[in-house]
Structure 1
Amino acid sequence: MQKIEDTTDAIWEKTLAINTTAPFRFIRAVTPVMKSQNYGRVIVIASIAGLMGEAFVTAYSASKHAVVGVVRASAVELSKYGITVNALCPGYVDTPMLDKGLDVTAARTGKTRDELRAALAAKQPGGRLLTANEVATAAIAFIDNGETGEARWLDAATIGEKK
């Protein structure tokens, strides 16, 4: 997390490479096989930050907005081949990657990882972090339902009761 004026070109380019260019390249690579089968399912993990802005993560938010655009454009182009392309846009997910980010923030702010985790959970609809299994379950639903071009907001309030 950094202020916009502290976001270097290197941070910007790396973030877009990971969050936008890599999914684009994946979709491009699998398209010929899926077209030949007249069937395919692509699910990209975007972020709530790709549907709304968030302070101090300009590069991340921009990259996730961009990948939602890739998903929607690909869905329009590929639907006639039986290929669906969708994005899941989860809030904060309780993962080792989140823990690393919390550790960096804790070192910078003097707050504990638990304090930071609680603050993130409190600002999430539903009052808690998502689990990786919940995100996976939402992905399976996309495989089964045949929708395409969707960018599905995913948080604890939209998937069920507070744990």
Structure 2
Amino acid sequence: MGIRFRGRVFPCTIGRGGVTADKREGDGATPVGRHRITDILFRPDRIAAHLLPPTARPIGPRDLWCDDPGHPAYNHQTRAPFAASHEILRRADPLYDLILTTDWNWPDAQPGKGSAIFLHTWRRPGFPTAGCVAFARRDLLWITQNLAPTSRLIVPASVASRAKNR
């Protein structure tokens, strides 16, 4: 699969559940839609801040993302200590060294509609995500450096119907 941005096509991987118009928490699918990029988060110990837009925010050791549909912080960044279910943003592996967050089910999250739809670094080419869109590190960095306020991740419904027909 590939994503087109600024006249270039970048290889990427999507969720293990394919693409869906009916996103649910834990389904492993990438949601159909027009998703605004809402934030840039990065590991300052792994990526130099000067390589990123000035709006990029460092990921600290206590930064988390709530994925508990029953919690008021569902689909929002939070900090440890945090008892509800969550993802650790400062991971040991490089997947979240650079994250572009999206407005999927945010800021007014509906319980169970899915959380943490990020653009991040892939584990390896072709290895699916839990619903995010993942890229080679160099490609994600280039995309991040060339974002505009109007940049969007567009996942067309036609991709979901093609995936169902396979």
- Please, what TM-score do these two structures have when normalized by structure 2? 0.23
The two structures have a TM-score, normalised by structure 1, of: 0.24
Structure with larger RCO (C-alpha < 8 A, sep 6+): 2
Rg bigger for which structure?
A: 1
Larger fraction in strand: 2
